[in-house]
């Protein structure tokens, strides 16, 4: 059934396919417009951790 104003999944798929082809052609034809830069490696910083001193235990009553 076709409804007026409804979303047609077939036309959505065609539109996405056309957009993919256009974007792929842009990347293929003009790669210098979108230069590829590899992502930065994750930054690893070592921060030494000294544990807090133990809590004092009150003396036991004899």
Residue 37 within any structural domain of the chain: yes
Where residue 6 falls among pLDDT bands split at 50, 70, 90? Answer: low
Residue 30 within any structural domain of the chain: yes
User: What's the whole-model pTM score?
Assistant: 0.38
Task: Report the 10 Å Cβ neighbour count for 18.
Answer: 10
Residue 5 within any structural domain of the chain: no
Largest CA distance in the chain: 90
Residue 18 within any structural domain of the chain: yes
Number of domains in the chain: 1
Is the confidence at residue 1, as pLDDT, over 70?
A: no
pLDDT of residue 18: 92
In terms of residue numbers, what domain contains 16? 11-51
Residue 60 within any structural domain of the chain: no
Residue 39 within any structural domain of the chain: yes
Note the pLDDT tens digit of each residue in 16-62: 899 999 888 877 877 666 667 778 888 888 888 898 898 888 888 76
Residue, of 9 and 17, whose pLDDT is higher: 17
Residue 24 within any structural domain of the chain: yes
């Amino acid at each position: 059934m076709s409804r007026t104003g409804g979303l047609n999944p077939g036309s959505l798929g065609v539109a996405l396919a056309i957009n993919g082809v256009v974007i792929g052609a842009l990347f293929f034809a003009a790669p210098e417009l979108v230069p590829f830069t590899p992502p930065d490696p994750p930054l690893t910083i070592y921060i030494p951790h000294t544990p807090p001193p133990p809590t004092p235990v009150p003396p036991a009553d004899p």
